[in-house]
Amino acid sequence: MAEKKVRSLDEVTIRFAGDSGDGMQLTGTQFTNTTAILGNDLSTLPDYPAEIRAPAGTLFGVSGFQIHFGSTKIHTPGDQCDVLVAMNPAALKVNLVSLVDGGTIIANTDGFTDKNLKLAGYAQNPLKDGSLDKYQVHAVDISKLTALALQDLNISSKLIDRSKNFFALGMMYWIYNRPLEPTIEWIKSKFTQKPEILEANLRVLKAGWNFGETTEIFSVRYEVGPAKLAPGRYRNITGNQAIAWGLMAAAKKANLDLFLGSYPITPASEILHELSLYKSFSVKTFQAEDEIAGISSAIGASFGGALAATTTSGPGLALKTEAMGLAVILELPLIICNVQRGGPSTGLPTKTEQSDLLQALYGRNGEAPVPVIAAATPSDCFDATFEAARIAVKYMTPVMMLSDGYLGNGSEPWLIPDFNALPEIPAKFVTNPEGFLPYSRDEETLSRPWAIPGTPGLQHRIGGLEKEHLTGNVSYDPENHDKMVRLRAEKIERIANDIPLAQVEGDTEGELLVISWGGTYGAIRTAVNRQRQKGSSVSHLHLRYLNPFPRNLGEILYRFRNIMVPEINLGQLIRILRSKYLVPAIGFDRVRGLPFKSVEIEKEIEDILKGKK
């Protein structure tokens, strides 16, 4: 056997693709977790169909998982993949456009049957007709080799076929010099009660590794060294997990029980799943019968003195609208986490979008302003959620925290913070009935007192009807209504004095400022960094706080000749910036259910700087 060469790489992007039942999400997740353990920086993009089990072999049933990892700082899951692992013709056809020229294809030849070729729209087998000559194609009998590894086990052919993803995983571990041990431990813990599945998966995983070691088709192995990350303890985390942990950390810092009232909805359901595991940490989760019950139960929990939250996506947020207005007029703390997805209506349940910004800002009847914060990366979901809780408690208001499907399902290494270093969230309950007025105001924040029901002498009226200033009694007086509307709005505006000033990455003035919010951060930062390395006069500003804006936003905007705002919608933030600051910002919109590619943003930057826009 010829000695295998080892080549070092700074970064690489791999995409696993197959039928929705081929275990590509599991394969990608295991590769990601192992890669994180090795100290690589990484970013992932799970991409799967909305159907629970789409027809096998069809184009719309393809499930993919992309991971971009390296020894350098990684901000995106990769514009294109260097390696495509395709389990059938449909997976190849759907994802070939994402493969770089000269990239590597590892194809499961057993999946390229006449039936599957026809379902994918191939007249001939692309592995044999020369159409893939510009790629490095490695045809492997993955299904057959999986069956050979399990031939002496008394298990069904269906179970054997479902194990083939571990053969592909073992091969990729060998090619990229990843250890088997983390996945072996996971298999043992996952299938303790199912010894036949445990044995099958272990055998196939090792068979894939051994195939890479012994076959002649792979002559090169690759090494990707650890990234130079800040010292500390890390774990791989998804955005949805980070939201759950941010809520728990905030509750502990406020010394309150955490209550989540929620209704399952893609792609936010994992937050409910994650929090349900931590009952011993004073976490109460309630899976409600519908979206309205979910938020209403959370409002009740807040009234009762808990740190309360509700989670949803766009269609669910629409149903929660009336109760959000109730939370505004009651002036109770509430965290509303919206993991945005493609719309309108049911739209694209498993795809990403950031089209709920205007809904978050204005989607309620009457004058009902709420603070809005958006997370930038999967791990930043922790910080954004924690900050939402801090503001909610301090200002006695519901707060909207925006994530999206790309952030919620995607993952990256997270530097686990020192809990003691996190800011305190003092929850102040009024207990003295002397002089108590339920709608009196704190001089600094304009927040009203938080009075727990059942406290002697603190009985007060709640409900959706307008409150009289100070007493909280029902009032139809026009001057009182005007006063209360303005007080609630001023309270939200005052939050601008309690958030950081906006900071520009790059020069503080120049030809072009590119503004990001939410999940566009990584692609925009990557594009701007590349352009700055080329000497272009371009800077980057990321906005976490979308209502209210940082106090210095206007003065920053006025220092740049051009302003560009890429969004995964038809231009929502840009409308607000134009109307509020009267700047002729240039939009760049894509609504495809996918995150931006940095190369397309970079091209748009070049066009603007050349005067083409």
Q: What angle do CA 357, 290, 279 make, to 5 degrees?
A: 95
Q: Phi then psi for 486, rounded to 5 degrees?
A: -70, -35
**H helices present in 463-520, as ranges:** 478-494
Looking at residue 4, its pLDDT comes to 78
Quick: pLDDT tens for 192-203: 999 999 999 999
Q: Kindly indicate the confidence band of residue 51, based on its pLDDT and cuts at 50, 70 and 90.
A: confident
What is the arithmetic mean of pLDDT over 504-528? 98
Q: Kindly indicate the confidence band of residue 219, based on its pLDDT and cuts at 50, 70 and 90.
A: confident
Average pLDDT for the chain: 96
Looking at residue 154, its pLDDT comes to 87
Burial 46-76 (b: 16+ CB within 10 A, else e): bbbbbeeebebbbbebbbbbbbbbbbeebbb
125 has a pLDDT exceeding 60: yes
User: Nearest CA to 201 among 168, 175, 173?
Assistant: 168
Quick: pLDDT tens for 97-121: 999 999 999 999 999 999 999 999 9
User: Nearest CA to 547 among 588, 587, 495?
Assistant: 495
Q: What is the 3-state secondary structure (H, E, C) of 217-232?
A: CCCEEEEECCCCCCCC
What is the arithmetic mean of pLDDT over 377-399? 98
Q: Kindly indicate the confidence band of residue 578, based on its pLDDT and cuts at 50, 70 and 90.
A: very high
What pTM does this model have?
Answer: 0.96
Looking at residue 1, its pLDDT comes to 53
Quick: pLDDT tens for 286-336: 999 999 999 999 999 999 999 999 999 999 999 999 999 999 999 999 999
Looking at residue 55, its pLDDT comes to 86
Total Cβ atoms within 10 A of residue 555: 12
| Lookup: tokens for 288 | 């409600």
**Burial tier of 552 (Cβ tally within 10 Å: 0-12, 13-18, 19+):** middle
What is the arithmetic mean of pLDDT over 74-82? 97
What is the arithmetic mean of pLDDT over 114-140? 97
Domains of the chain: 5-224 (3.40.920.10), 235-420 (3.40.50.970), 504-609 (3.40.50.920)
583 has a pLDDT exceeding 70: yes
Q: For a pLDDT cut of 90, what percent of the chain falls above it?
A: 96
613 has a pLDDT exceeding 80: no
Looking at residue 95, its pLDDT comes to 97
CA 59 from chain centre, in angstroms, equals 25
| Lookup: tokens for 479 | 């001057």
Looking at residue 52, its pLDDT comes to 76
Looking at residue 281, its pLDDT comes to 94
Quick: pLDDT tens for 331-341: 999 999 999 99
**CA distance linking residue 147 with residue 352, whole number of Å:** 37
Q: Kindly indicate the confidence band of residue 2, based on its pLDDT and cuts at 50, 70 and 90.
A: low
**CA distance linking residue 367 with residue 369, whole number of Å:** 6
**CA distance linking residue 322 with residue 292, whole number of Å:** 8
Helices (H) and strands (E) in the chain, counts: 21, 22
What is the arithmetic mean of pLDDT over 26-38? 97
